[in-house]
Structures are given as C-alpha cells and as structure tokens.
C-alpha cells in the first residue's frame, strides 16, 4: 500500500536525483486524504547504473546476493545463492567444531533464465547440530566476511520439553534505486535495521510481506520483476542476516505486483515464479499461490497468500445476497481451517500481509471484506482452536489489536511494519477502536522478535519491538494458557 502511506516532507525538502545529488526543490501538489503528495519532477540527470546507487555498491567476487539460509528442519536445510553469471554452484558443509565428515550438496548450474539463482540442499544432517557451510562457485570456495552457519532443529518429541527459540519479523522493505524511484524524498532508509536484527541472533527471520517493492518500470515485464527482486536482495546490510538465520516469507501487494494488486494482476504467474526463485520456503499448498506452512519446535506457522485469490478492494461485498468478496478465498480458508484443527502446536501463528483483527474499514484491512472475515472468525470460534494468534504487516506502523470473544480466549493481531519503507500513522478512528492494545503503537522503522520459552506445560511467548538501531521500544508477554 505504498501509494497510500508514502509520507513526503514538504517545504525545504530537496529532491534527490539519480546520482544522489540534491536538486532544486520540487513543489508538491495537493493530495486527497490518505494519498501521498505528488512531487513534480525536477530536471533529471542521466540514468545511473546499479552500481551508482548508494544502497548497492559493487560486490567483489562471483556472488551477486546471498548466500541465504532458507528452511531448516531436522535432517535437511536449503541454502540459496545468486551468482553474477552462469556458474556451477555447490555448498560444502561440516558440523561446527569438527573437521570431518565434510559433505557436498549436489551441484546446481545457474543460468540467466532463472536469474542465476540456485537452491542447494544440505541433506546429510543430524538433528540439533550447528553447521558451518561454504559456497563453492565453479569449484572455488568463496570467502565471506561474516558467519555462514545454520543449526538443525532438535529431535525433542517424546524426549524433552520443547526447545526455546527466538524469531525475528518485519514487513515493508524498500530499497532505493534513484533512476527508477519517484522524484522527491527517497522512500527507503534505515538499512542498518538488518544489522540490528542479525545482532539479536534469531533462529529464523519471518518476512511478512512487501519484502521488495516492484515499481512502474517493473510491473509489465519479467525482466523488470527479476531485476527488482535482484536489486533488493543484493542490499549489502542484509547479507549477514540472510547467511546465518533461516528465512521464511509471504508476499503482499508490492512483491506480488502494483500497489493494492489483486487476482486481476496480469503477471501474477511471473511474480510467483520470482517469489519461488528468490525464497526457499519448504512447501507450497497451491500451485498458483505462495501459501504454505512450517513447524519450529512446538509451534506451527501458517503462511497465507492474501493476493492470488483476492477480489478487488472496490468490489461490493454481496454477502448472503450475492457473490462473497474474496480475500483468501474458499480453497485457502478450507485448507487453513483444516490445518489448524489438525495442528497440535502450542502456538499457531497465522501469518498474512493485511490486518485481520482491526475492525476499521481502512485501506486494505480484512474489515473491508466483511462477509469472509465474519466467516473466518466464526469458524475459528466454533472449532475452539487453542493457541491461535495473527502476525501481519503492511500498515507502515506497528501495533497490537486484541479481539475479546465471548466464551473463549481473545484473538491477538501483531502488526510489525515497516523495516525500511516510509513510516505512517494510523488514522484517528483506528486509535479509538476497543481492539487497540495501549502502548504498542510505533510510527518509525522497526522490527520485532518473538521468543517462545518455558516447560511444555507452561510455554510463554514474549514479544519485543525494536527501533532500527535495535533499541527496545516495548514488550508484551502471553502465556499459552491464556489462549485456551
């Protein structure tokens, strides 16, 4: 929802040209409420190349971006990497602190058709062990100035209490590329946030949508989409985090297509291809979407797709008297409810782009899809599924909403946003809703961690929000027995 939340400084703001130099101030035109001011373009200089942008200095060696740890399980892990040109890629891995046995993944030949990306599988692992890995490009080891490690999940079931673990999360990552950005104040900033996240040493990072921002120059071509995914993934500050924590992702409108894009977007098969090329999730439930799930310890994460099956925001909601306005759609809702009923997880995290619990009919909240939202909330209550809470993003501010439900536990929706995109404030009417949890609003770039700890019968979830420097801004604790 970039076009709805882009906040541009007015008055003395200097427009930044493609070379990063200040230009004559541009005069903003008036915008309607909820929309950004439109900056009239100042005189522009010749287009810059990728290496000219401040966010993307040239990286030495054969690797364009990565390596990135994808999913990690007990016996298998995925390592992703992107090379600068066609190459034969492998990983060599060994248990940390040992010199043998050393294993090699099967080699993958990168090629232009797949944006020179490779998914490398480490499949000779033991549970609960730390591993060191090295990327080999055309048989030569690539040295990197930061750790390249992962740890497999332990086999704890029927043996011990579940393991304690911590994951980081955030949404809305905009990386400036001046030749293709809108004129005016740069929208992306605060890239040091990824250094701050890595410093928390999370077991994994959960990317909750708008993980890259496709732009006007990208939307209509496969080349443009692959360029945008490559440009964002190549951010230098991001690399240490990618290399040493597992990474799981969903998408929202900007990594799916244009702002507020829905099922009518004409290149959605291409952006899905790009998503699968650049992320290493363990599974995809539907061939045409990015929904999936994974388990970490005694918790399960349900990664939802809020774009592929979605009706246009402006479509009327017929409800009982006409077509239901789809958000997740029947097939995805049926799968979600079945999977939640089956799950024995202590905490069940439902992860999606837009806010679920906030009742304000603003922007792209689930509230504007009222019939489907009512159906989901009613069926969740009827199924009496314990341990459920929502993780969302999109809104360019962070906040917790809590829905009290008669006869059962309350539903929480933890919104964490933005990472590097422009911050925005909630509307005044949103802050008067009874669902707002006091003291959890952040209107600056931020991220969060969630730590799950304690013995099996007394598990605790601790949520902490941090600014881009890693300074804690608030924390909240939920006990598992509060969600039953």
pLDDT at position 20 over 60: no
Statement to judge: residues 138 and 256 lie in one domain? no
Q: What is the pLDDT of residues 37-56, one digit of tens each?
A: 333 333 333 333 333 344 46
Statement to judge: residues 91 and 182 lie in one domain? no
Boundary residue ending a domain (92, 126, 151): 151
Instruction: Calculate the average pLDDT of the chain.
Output: 90
Pairing verdict, β 38-39 and 388-392: unpaired
User: Is residue 463 in a domain?
Assistant: yes
pLDDT at position 18 over 90: no
Statement to judge: residues 238 and 364 lie in one domain? yes
User: Is residue 478 in a domain?
Assistant: yes
Q: What is the pLDDT of residues 378-408, one digit of tens each?
A: 999 999 999 999 999 999 999 999 999 999 9
For every residue of 285-349, DSSP letters joined together read SSTTS--EEEEETTEEEEE--SSTTPPPTTS---GGGS----SS-HHHHHHHHHHHHH---SEEE
User: Is residue 395 in a domain?
Assistant: yes
Statement to judge: residues 404 and 340 lie in one domain? yes
| Helices and strands per DSSP (H, E), number in the chain | 8, 23
Task: Provide the pLDDT for residue 422.
Answer: 97
User: Is residue 359 in a domain?
Assistant: yes
Boundary residue ending a domain (101, 116, 151): 151
User: Is residue 40 in a domain?
Assistant: no
Q: Where residue 364 sits, what CATH number does that domain have?
A: 3.60.21.70
Q: How confident is the model at residue 32 (pLDDT cuts 50, 70, 90)?
A: very low
Q: How confident is the model at residue 57 (pLDDT cuts 50, 70, 90)?
A: low
Statement to judge: residues 92 and 218 lie in one domain? no
Statement to judge: residues 365 and 305 lie in one domain? yes
Task: Provide the pLDDT for residue 324.
Answer: 84
Statement to judge: residues 308 and 252 lie in one domain? yes
pLDDT at position 274 over 50: yes
Statement to judge: residues 352 and 390 lie in one domain? yes
* Element at 241 (helix H, strand E): helix 239-244
Task: Provide the pLDDT for residue 31.
Answer: 30
372 near 326, Cβ under 8 Å?
yes
User: Is residue 41 in a domain?
Assistant: no
Split into its structural domains, the chain has a count of 2
Task: Provide the pLDDT for residue 360.
Answer: 96
Q: What is the pLDDT of residues 137-191, one digit of tens each?
A: 999 999 999 999 999 999 999 999 999 999 999 999 999 999 999 999 999 999 9
Parent domain of 123: 63-151
Q: Where residue 90 sits, what CATH number does that domain have?
A: 2.60.40.380
User: Is residue 157 in a domain?
Assistant: no
Statement to judge: residues 292 and 368 lie in one domain? yes
pTM over 0.75, yes/no: yes
Boundary residue ending a domain (119, 151, 183): 151
Task: Provide the pLDDT for residue 1.
Answer: 61
Task: Provide the pLDDT for residue 19.
Answer: 29
pLDDT average, residue stretch 88-99: 97
Pairing verdict, β 108-109 and 347-351: unpaired
Statement to judge: residues 132 and 181 lie in one domain? no
User: Is residue 194 in a domain?
Assistant: yes
Most confident of 31-35, 320-324, 431-435: 431-435
pLDDT average, residue stretch 402-423: 97
Statement to judge: residues 237 and 330 lie in one domain? yes
Statement to judge: residues 316 and 358 lie in one domain? yes
pLDDT at position 94 over 80: yes
Task: Provide the pLDDT for residue 399.
Answer: 98
pLDDT at position 23 over 60: no
């Amino acid at each position: 929802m970039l076009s709805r939340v882009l906040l541009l400084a007015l008055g003395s703001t200097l427009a930044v040209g493609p070379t990063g130099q200040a230009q004559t101030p541009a005069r903003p035109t008036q915008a309607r409420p909820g929309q950004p001011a439109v900056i009239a373009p100042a005189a522009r200089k010749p287009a810059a190349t990728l290496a000219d942008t401040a966010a993307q200095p040239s990286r030495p060696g054969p690797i364009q971006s990565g390596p990135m740890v994808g999913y990690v399980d007990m016996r298998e892990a995925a390592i992703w990497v992107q090379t600068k040109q066609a190459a034969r890629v492998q990983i060599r891995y060994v248990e940390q602190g040992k010199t043998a046995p050393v294993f090699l993944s099967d080699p993958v030949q990168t090629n232009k058709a797949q944006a020179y990306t490779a998914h490398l599988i480490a499949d000779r692992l033991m549970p609960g062990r730390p591993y060191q890995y090295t990327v080999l490009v055309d048989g030569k080891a690539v040295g990197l100035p930061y750790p390249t490690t992962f740890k497999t999940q332990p086999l704890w079931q029927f043996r011990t209490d579940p393991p304690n673990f911590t994951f980081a999360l955030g949404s809305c990552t905009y990386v400036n590329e001046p030749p293709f950005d809108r004129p005016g104040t740069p929208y992306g900033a605060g890239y040091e946030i990824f250094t701050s996240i890595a410093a928390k040493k999370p077991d994994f990072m959960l990317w909750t949508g708008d993980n890259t921002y496709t732009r006007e120059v990208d939307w209509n071509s496969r080349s443009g989409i692959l360029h945008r995914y490559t440009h964002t993934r190549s951010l230098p500050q991001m690399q240490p985090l990618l290399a040493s924590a597992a990474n799981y992702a969903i998408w929202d409108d900007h990594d799916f297509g244009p702002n507020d894009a829905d099922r009518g977007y004409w290149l959605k098969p291409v952006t899905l291809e790009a998503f699968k090329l650049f992320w290493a999730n363990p599974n995809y439930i539907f061939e045409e979407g990015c929904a999936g799930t994974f388990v970490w310890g005694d918790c399960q994460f349900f990664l939802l797709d809020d774009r592929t099956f979605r009706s246009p925001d402006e479509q009327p909601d017929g409800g009982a008297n006409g077509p239901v306005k789809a958000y997740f759609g029947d097939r995805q809702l049926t799968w979600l409810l079945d999977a939640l009923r089956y799950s024995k997880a202590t905490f069940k995290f439902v992860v999606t782009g837009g806010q679920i619990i906030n009742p304000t009919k603003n922007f792209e909240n689930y509230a504007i899809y009222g019939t489907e939202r009512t159906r989901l909330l009613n069926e969740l209550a009827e199924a009496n599924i314990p341990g459920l809470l929502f993780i969302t993003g999109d809104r360019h501010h962070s906040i917790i909403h809590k829905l009290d439900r008669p006869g059962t536990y309350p539903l929480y929706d933890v919104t964490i946003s933005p990472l590097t995109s422009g911050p925005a404030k909630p509307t005044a009417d949103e802050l008067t809703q009874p669902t707002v949890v006091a003291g959890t609003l952040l209107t600056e770039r931020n991220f969060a961690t969630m730590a799950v700890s304690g013995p099996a019968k007394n598990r605790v979830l601790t949520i902490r929000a941090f600014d881009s420097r890693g300074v804690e801004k608030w924390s909240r604790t939920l006990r598992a027995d509060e969600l039953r």
